[in-house]
Structure 1
Amino acid sequence: MAIKIRLARAGSKKRPYYHVVVAEARSPRDGRVIERIGSYNPMLAKDDEKRIVLNTERATHWLSTGAQPTDRVERFLDAAGLLKREARNNPNKGKPGAKAIERLEEKKAAEEAAAEAAAAPAEAPAEEASAE
């Protein structure tokens, strides 16, 4: 039986509020839980101490028994000093997509064509004057 420490939604529409719960991995998000060990209110300011409330004693107990936290809960536990979360790196996330690259190339080609067109008439009268 795999145990997870995760968030269970408990808020009205467009007013999210989450309970930090210990549950079986197979149970639904808002389904049966083993224990409720905290809460998370994303509507509060980031510096508010009531934004994340955790029972650290119970969290350490469940971590010691092998419960696996989800990524968001792992962030909370790291902030509380109960767990060390390694920083993740996704170098491809910031890169533009194929369509954006295509649009940039088209824009660059149009700018080059405009620069050549602007430079060509200025050179033409000078060539005509030297030919006479």
Structure 2
Amino acid sequence: MAMKLRLTRMGCKKRPFYRIVAMNSETRRDGRALEYLGYYNPMVDPAEIKVDGDKVRAWLARGAEPTDTVRALLQKAGV
């Protein structure tokens, strides 16, 4: 069971925002997350990123693999 840090889409049509979550890699995109780690709102200028760094580091220590997009967002957030 591979764990991933990835985005789930929230918001309404044409107004998306995303939650950064930890979940099983086999779970569908908007499926049940194990833990919510932060959010990303691309609709404001500049884009808003908020991440709980301690939770992210804990999941990375457990072997969770971030997706490419989440990895880039974490680097922007300084985690």
Give yes or no for TM over 0.5: yes
Q: State the structure with more CA Rg.
A: 1
1:108-123 equivalence runs, <5 A: none
Of the three residues 51, 55, 66, the one matched with 1:69 is 66
Query: Is 1:60 matched with 2:62?
Result: no
Partner of 1:17: 17
Partner of 1:109: none
Structure 2 unaligned segments of length 5 or more: list them.
none
Partner of 1:98: none
1:56-109 CA-partner distances (Å, limit 9, x unpaired):
000000011110001111011112333xxxxxxxxxxxxxxxxxxxxxxxxxxx
1:32-62 CA-partner distances (Å, limit 9, x unpaired):
110000001000112x6xx001000000000
- Write 1 or 2 for the structure with the bigger share of helix: 1
Q: Contact (CA 8 Å) 2:49, 2:77: kept in 1 or not?
A: no
TM-score, normalised with respect to structure 2: 0.94
Identity, % of aligned positions? 44
Aligned-residue Cα RMSD (Å) equals 1.0
C-alpha distance in 1 between matches for 2:14 and 2:53: 29
TM-score, normalised with respect to structure 1: 0.57
Q: CA deviation at 1:28?
A: 0.3
Could you tell me which amino acid in structure 2 is paired with residue 64 of structure 1?
A
- Write 1 or 2 for the structure with the bigger share of strand: 2
Structure 1 unaligned segments of length 5 or more: list them.
83-132
Partner SS for 1:17 = strand
C-alpha distance in 1 between matches for 2:14 and 2:56: 28
